[in-house]
Structure 1
Amino acid sequence: MVHIRDLALPDFPLLLAPMEDVSDPPFRAVCKANGADLMYTEFISSEGLIRDAAKSRKKLDVFDYERPIGIQLFGSDVATMGECAAISTAAGPDLIDINYGCPVKQVACRGAGAALLRDIPKMVEMTSAVVRNTHLPVTVKTRLGWDDDTKNVEEVAERLQDIGIEALTVHGRTRVQLYKGEADWTLIHRIKNNPRIRIPIFGNGDVDSPEKALLYKERYGVDGIMIGRASIGYPWIFREIKHYLATGEKLAPPTIEERVAMCRMHFEKSIEWKGPRVGVFEMRRHYAQYFRGLEGAKQWRTRLVDAEQPEIILEILEEIAAAEPVMVGM
């Protein structure tokens, strides 16, 4: 088993990445149903929590069915991050995670997320403040460095471990790369093989198939893998990877019935958590992925997006299941 302090995860756990506007409780529910071992909230602005912003507070919602679950924080002020660690702890997660990896301009240019890779002393100070202000395990997600000339994640791993983090996830790109190019896991491998490193090391970046999951497991020796974009509209990625690692055989892709059932579950959780108006609106971004490759997918997607009443959307989903359209490509 893999342990984050007293939190016991299975051998080679699969983690769901925190993704803004994606990994909310409804999305986490369908990923959990398909085998995700550890999940994280969308990243939460520490400044938003201090201001008591409704959107930030709402992101603190965690539910027993999704455990183990971590709340992820980001920010640029050390004292504020410490205070928000205490606020987040009161929400009842299983751990607190710090985002030192977000590359988007709105975050990094404000001195948060991946920007801290250019100021390791401040990163250390901020992490220490979070560790001091919670009794929960603290973990970190980061990148290789700011750019190709400053790949400092090996130093980051040692220094953050020394002040108390209990697991580290590394995305195999620099901030400058954003999500372009191929993720480089060689530094992640070096961290995992560093004799000073005692905490679990998880890899992230480009794992989008069972075959690649096995390849990266064997080649880089990480303790587990975090999956992000490959799970959007395809939560079955978790069960497919687990089956392949256990048996060496590929599962058949989800049937139309399974696609509709999972989309319905996601939709119903969305309505339950967000209310009908927002739940209907925000679910629209997911239909294209759930029914990608389906015969007549554009027609079904258009009808689902245009519908405004929950009961109409459920009727359309039933129509899709009854029609049993074939898969024409992925």
Structure 2
Amino acid sequence: MLKLKNLHLRSGVIQSPMAGCTDLAYRLLSRSYGMEFCFLEMVSAESLVRDHSGARDLMETTPEDRPLGAQLVGCRPEAMGEAAKIVEDMGFDLLDLNLGCPVPKVAGNGAGSALLAEPDKARAIFAAVVKAVKKIPVTVKMRLGVQDASGEEAVRTARIAEACGVDAVTVHGRTRVQGYSGVADYQAIGKVKAAVKIPVIGNGDVVSAADARRLREISSCDGVMIGRGGLGNPWIFKNIEKTLSGNGESDEPSFEEKKSALLRHFELELEYREGKTALLYMRRIACWYFKNIPGVNEFRTAINTCLSVPDMRGLIQNFNPLS
């Protein structure tokens, strides 16, 4: 069990926040297959403080969508503290601070992974947020460093977070400059685990239960965060929980089960999005479910030109692997 203040997670398996991916429909679908905890998509602290509708839209949820975390990104301590209070008042179960995003429009503005090179600013943000939040756990998600892959920047940042009263840290086993290239370094995550007393959650390249087990064995991390491994694969959460608890091996879904899950995902998107928007979204996510299946390229071509909800349903229902 992963204990974060008053939040106790049975499995210790968490879905990471992913922009454009972990929307309400994705979360509800994944929960129906056994996902215990998830995050919203990343939310800008500045946008939330200014009450921009886009930030509020990202925070749409339902009573069934619990427990649920929110992740803030920003570089001004005052805005991060104010936004943190808003998150707590909205009833979320956990608040995470983003020190991991490597994309230029975030890191280039001094937020996300850029803060790994700014220990004083990171400290000010942690202190402001911990002071503002009274009831829910505060965590920090980070990378190993900006360029240094040794993990020393992550160790320094984790120690600062711990000293400021942060409840746990998540470490992605790559640097900012690596982006998503190369391989996540689980031994470097283990350095962070050895350096602090608060829980450390490992992240990076977990696309199967075997990967999660290897991450735990190498890093001794307290929890596992799933990123891209959950896309089109809602079974991964239950499979990891079973494997790590010693209650069985992974159950791999059949093609028909994948098709059924995709159809359900589409119906949920239609429930929470306007039809045209849902169609555009499906063009991006549908092939997650059919990765490495013969004929997926033809399927992708067909859905990219699909203009109606009935046609999209038909394309999914009628798709079969090429023999």
1:223 aligns with 2:192: no
Kindly state the Cα deviation for residue 174 of structure 1 after the two structures are TM-superposed: 1.3
Are the aligned partners of 2:199 and 2:222 in contact in 1 as well (CA < 8 Å)?
Answer: yes
**Contact in 2 for aligned 1:62/1:93 (Cα 8 Å):** no
Paired residues for 1:1-330 under 5 Å: 1-11=1-11, 13-135=12-134, 136-148=136-148, 151-194=152-195, 197-247=196-246, 250-320=249-319, 325-326=320-321
C-alpha distance 172-100 of structure 1, shift in aligned 2 (>3 A): same
Query: Identity percentage over the alignment?
Result: 35
Please report the RMSD computed on the Cα atoms of aligned residues, expressed in angstroms: 2.0
TM-score for both structures, normalised by structure 2: 0.92
> Displacement of 1:326 after TM fit?
4.5
Does the aligned pair in 2 maintain the 1:146–1:175 contact within 8 Å?
yes
Equivalent residues of 1:60, 1:91 under 8 A apart: no
Secondary structure, counterpart of 1:31 in structure 2: helix
Amino acid at match of 2:160: R
CA deviation vs aligned residue, 1:78-136 (integer Å, no higher than 9, x gap): 11111111222232210111001101110001010011111111101111111222222
Distance 1:148 1:159 in 2: 18
The CA distance in 2 between the partners of 1:300 and 1:159, in whole Å, is: 49
- 8 Å contact kept, 1:154–1:187: no
SS in 1 for 2:304: helix
Aligned CA distance change for structure 1 residues 100 and 249 (closer, same or farther; 3 Å): same
Aligned partners of 1:146 and 1:174 also within 8 Å: yes
TM superposition shift of 1:209: 2.0
Distance (whole Å) between structure 2 residues aligned to residue 92 and residue 182 of structure 1: 36
SS in 2 for 1:83: helix
| Deviation (angstroms), 1:182 | 1.4
The number of residue pairs the alignment matches comes to 321
Read off the aligned partner of 1:8 and give its amino acid letter: H
- Equivalent pair of 1:62/1:92 in contact (CA under 8 Å): no
Checking the alignment, whether the CA contact within 8 Å between 2:209 and 2:250 is kept in structure 1 is no
Q: 2:187 touches 2:218 (CA, 8 Å); kept in 1?
A: no
Structure 2, unmatched stretches of 5+, are none
Q: Which one is further off, 262-271 or 240-249?
A: 240-249
Aligned mates of 2:183, 2:321 — CA distance in 1: 33
Alpha-carbon separation, structure 1, partners of 2:231 and 2:69:
19
Once residues 36 and 235 of structure 1 are traced to their aligned partners in structure 2, the CA distance between those partners, rounded to angstroms, is 7
Please, which moves more after superposition, 123-132 or 50-59? 50-59
Superposition deviation, residue 52 in structure 1: 2.5
Structure-2 separation of matches of 1:327 and 1:188: 41
SS in 1 for 2:64: helix
Q: Is the Cα contact below 8 Å between 1:100 and 1:142 reproduced in 2?
A: yes
TM-score (norm 1): 0.90
Deviations 1:240-291, CA, capped at 9 Å, x for gaps: 3233334586434212221122112211221122221212211210111212
